[in-house]
């Protein structure tokens, strides 16, 4: 189905259940990762795979990181459908997802004198981290079997093997690599539930596979081993410390900036060039150096409440802030606080709503999301928290950052996403 006649059309978006406890498939040999065998007869899975084969309209599906917006990576009309649905700039490259190493090798050419087309530098990473939240940059053969829109004109492409059995089975049934950025509207927080995908893309796609909430909550780490020393192009579900434990990657460097790298050149990996992960609200991020100074947060919230007409204000707590960022300890009074739950926020930690008021009048609505102190839990719930506060219509969100130097954690990925989402950063 060609893309051009579909431009401007509105689709009936269907959410199809695909329970995570379903037996979707397995590797014939888990040590080699050569062949993924599908065993599931679940009708929604097979319907989504047939849709990927025949349509130019992408499919929303879960991985262990975030929900992806998938299309046949070998067909230009299908890949263009991704850019159209997301409103994504066409110079922002896409990552392809493969079901096994046999599929990946069929899209590569071996270097001179090498039998295996997968460069040696990546073998330790593949052995340790695949399937999982790691993307590797690979040389794109000439001619390439991939649609040119996947690489945005670059001589390389990113590939990963997700650990979600549902995702692996969907790819295997489609029979081709699946190009899949996050299944959100461009620049918005990444989706970690099917509800998030529908909220952003309702009417723009036809099928969303609902496999429940994602486990990791932030996108994959992207590495480039084609240069010396190798670099991390995007922090994600695998920390740089863990990567440095692998042979040949001891000297890996940080090759990304937390601010958007605006320029004329196409970015080498998703998430580098453009503003990302941003809710509608203004985000005020407090770096770890500011975390202990909660009084500054309190002053900012009180100023916001007294200089604006009854605003709605969001607070995202992580490791050290007091409840309500200490507001109730001031001369003001916090009233009517209660636990809050809804479909859009149930994966975002604990949310409470309250009213900030002086002795004489109401000043603001407050919404507080508590993500807990464990960095993995914070990463898991971060995007859901931003979306939940957007859903409540808050104008400003005050966020407590974490130390991105936590050894072995994905704190750097959390802070990278927050810095890209932030309107104001307090350091």
Neighbouring CB atoms inside 10 A of 4's CB total 8
The answer to whether the Cα torsion of 310, 308, 303, 290 is positive or negative is: positive
Task: Delimit the CATH 3.90.870.10 region(s) of the chain.
Answer: 4-254
Average pLDDT (168-173) is: 98
Does residue 340 have a known ligand-binding role? no
pLDDT at 4: 47
Does residue 405 have a known ligand-binding role? no
Whole-number average pLDDT of the chain: 89
Q: Exposed e or buried b for every residue in 168-187, given b needs 16+ CB within 10 A?
A: bbbbbbbebbbbbbbbbbbb
Name which residue leads in pLDDT, 330 or 54.
Answer: 54
Q: Cα separations (Å) of 206 from 17, 230, 289, 403?
A: 14, 40, 45, 40
Q: Cα separations (Å) of 383 from 26, 182, 316, 334, 372?
A: 30, 12, 11, 27, 14
Does residue 220 have a known ligand-binding role? yes
Q: Cα separations (Å) of 52 from 122, 178, 205, 327, 377?
A: 29, 9, 12, 51, 33
Does residue 75 have a known ligand-binding role? no
Beta strand residue intervals within 287-358, DSSP E: 312-317, 333-340, 350-357
SS3 state at 403: coil
Report pLDDT digits (tens) over 99-134. 999 999 999 999 888 899 999 999 999 999 999 999
Average pLDDT (319-323) is: 88
Does the domain at 282-426 match CATH 3.40.50? Answer given as: yes
Does residue 339 have a known ligand-binding role? no
Supply angle C-alpha 241, 246, 250, rounded to 5.
65
Does residue 97 have a known ligand-binding role? yes
Average pLDDT (264-292) is: 72
For helices 375-391 and 194-201, give the axis angle rounded to 10 degrees. Answer: 40
Tokens of 229: 């020393």
Question: pTM of the prediction?
Answer: 0.91
Name which residue leads in pLDDT, 177 or 1.
Answer: 177
- Percent with pLDDT over 70 in the chain: 88
- CATH number listed for the domain at residues 4-254: 3.90.870.10
Name which residue leads in pLDDT, 40 or 350.
Answer: 40
Task: Delimit the CATH 3.40.50 region(s) of the chain.
Answer: 282-426
Does residue 26 have a known ligand-binding role? no
Residue 5 banded pLDDT, cuts 50, 70, 90: very low
> Is it true that the peptide bond before 203 is cis, omega within 30 degrees of 0?
no
Instruction: Specify whether the backbone of 203 is left (phi greater than 0), alpha (psi in -120 to 50) or beta.
Output: left
Supply angle C-alpha 341, 342, 343, rounded to 5.
140
Given a contact cutoff of 8 angstroms between Cβ atoms, the answer to whether 382 and 241 are in contact is no
d(CA 252, CA 230): 5
Does residue 417 have a known ligand-binding role? no
Does residue 88 have a known ligand-binding role? yes
DSSP state of 140: P
The answer to whether the Cα torsion of 236, 238, 244, 248 is positive or negative is: negative
Does residue 292 have a known ligand-binding role? no
Report pLDDT digits (tens) over 15-47. 999 998 999 999 999 999 999 999 999 999 999
Does residue 234 have a known ligand-binding role? yes
pLDDT over 80 at 340, yes or no = no
């Amino acid at each position: 189905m060609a893309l051009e006649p579909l431009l401007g059309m509105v689709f009936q978006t269907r959410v199809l259940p695909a329970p995570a406890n379903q037996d979707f498939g397995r590797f014939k040999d888990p040590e080699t990762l050569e062949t993924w065998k599908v065993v599931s007869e679940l009708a929604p899975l097979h319907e989504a795979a047939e849709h990927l084969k025949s349509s130019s309209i992408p499919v929303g599906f879960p991985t262990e990181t975030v929900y992806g917006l998938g299309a046949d990576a070998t067909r230009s009309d299908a890949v263009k459908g991704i850019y159209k649905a997301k409103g994504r700039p066409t110079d922002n490259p896409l990552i392809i997802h493969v079901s096994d190493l046999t599929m990946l090798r069929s899209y590569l050419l071996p270097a001179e004198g090498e039998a295996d087309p997968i460069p040696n530098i990546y073998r330790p990473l593949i052995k340790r981290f695949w399937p999982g939240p790691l993307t590797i940059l690979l040389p794109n053969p000439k001619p390439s079997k991939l649609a040119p829109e996947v690489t945005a004109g670059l001589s390389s492409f990113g590939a990963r093997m997700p650990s979600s059995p549902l995702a692996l089975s969907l790819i295997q049934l489609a029979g081709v690599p699946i190009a899949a950025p996050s299944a959100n509207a461009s620049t918005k927080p990444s989706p970690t539930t099917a509800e998030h995908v529908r909220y952003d893309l309702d009417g723009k796609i036809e099928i969303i596979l609902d496999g429940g909430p994602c486990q990791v909550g932030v996108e994959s780490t992207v590495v480039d081993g084609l240069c010396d020393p190798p670099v991390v192009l995007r922090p994600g579900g695998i920390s740089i410390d863990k990567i440095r434990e692998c042979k040949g990657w001891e000297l890996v460097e940080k090759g990304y900036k937390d601010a958007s790298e605006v320029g004329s050149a196409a970015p080498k990996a998703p998430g580098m060039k453009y503003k990302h992960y941003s809710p509608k609200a203004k985000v005020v991020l407090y770096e770890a150096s500011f975390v202990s100074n909660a009084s500054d947060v309190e002053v900012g919230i009180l100023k916001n409440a007294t200089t604006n007409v009854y605003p709605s204000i969001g607070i995202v707590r992580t490791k050290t802030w007091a409840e309500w960022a200490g507001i109730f300890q001031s001369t003001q009074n916090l009233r009517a606080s209660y636990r809050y739950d809804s479909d859009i926020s149930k994966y975002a930690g604990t949310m409470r709503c309250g009213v900030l008021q002086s002795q004489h009048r109401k000043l603001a609505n407050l919404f507080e999301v508590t993500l807990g102190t464990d960095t993995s839990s914070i990463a898991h719930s971060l995007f859901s928290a931003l979306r939940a506060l957007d859903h409540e219509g808050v104008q400003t969100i005050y966020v407590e950052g974490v130390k991105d130097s936590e050894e072995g954690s994905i704190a750097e990925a959390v802070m990278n996403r927050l810095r890209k989402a932030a309107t104001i950063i307090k350091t």
